[in-house]
Amino acid sequence: MTSYATSNARAEISELRRLKTLLPPELQSWVMIEGTTEVNPPLIRCEELGRDEIEIQIDLAKWENLALDQRNLLLWHEVSRIQNDTIPREGWEMAALAIGLGGAVGELWVQDGLLLLLALTLCGVSGYRLWQKNNSEKFIRESLEADEKAIQLATRFGYSVPNAYKSLGSALKTLIEQTPNKRQKKRYEERLQALRRSATKAKAKMQSETENRPPIG
């Protein structure tokens, strides 16, 4: 048992090191990749640790069930989120909402109009930010943009365009099959549909460029 645990730990460390090499050079100094220790965490996600530090957290137990190319494209999706600046910020909104509501109730009691207005403003701002973070349409749009950029990153690391689409598509199919949460599964399905449309356009563009290329000699 101890030997298995040691071997498994070594494999996880090796994988994290490998993934680190897949970060674009401009991100390697401030983007960390670590295995998560949470109970039932997402497969992969980003978290802002500080102003100049972001951590990509991976559930390595589930991660090892994916093919290598699938892992790479899912990582580059998160990298693209970082580059697009669409990583969720620190979750101050819930605390601010609670403070604002508490303040509003308190000021109703003491009947201070200015402080009541400030408390209600805090509630409004934090409530709007929470709505933005959980807005499904916005999340899907950002995810689709990250998928497109992940394809570009893959080609930067030596993938052909067709293989990049194929790897990300197969990764999304696997996630759809393995995800019990209906809301999350629907998001993966929307991403897969959009990816297929994008792949069709990319294929048509490549064929057109090939046909219009002047003959050599």
Same-domain check for residues 52 and 149: yes
Same-domain check for residues 53 and 108: no
CA 171 to chain centroid, in Å, comes to 14
Same-domain check for residues 10 and 111: no
Q: Over 90: is that where the pLDDT of 208 sits? A: no
| Spatial contact of 80 and 31, defined as CB atoms under 8 Å apart | no
What is the average pLDDT value for the chain, to the nearest integer? 80
- Global pTM? 0.77
From residue 107, how far is each of 13, 102, 119, 163, 176 by CA, in Å? 54, 9, 8, 61, 49
Tokens of 48: 């802002």
DSSP letter at 22 equals: T
Q: Give Cβ neighbours of residue 134 (< 8 Å, ≥ 6 apart).
A: none
Over residues 47-102, the pLDDT tens digits come to: 888 777 899 999 999 999 999 999 999 999 999 999 998 876 544 444 444 444 44
Same-domain check for residues 103 and 140: no
Q: Which domain holds residue 159?
A: 2-89+134-205
Percent of the chain with pLDDT over 90: 51
Average pLDDT over residues 188-212: 89
Tell me how crowded residue 145 is: count the other CB atoms within 10 A of its CB: 14
Average pLDDT over residues 13-26: 95
DSSP letter at 131 equals: H
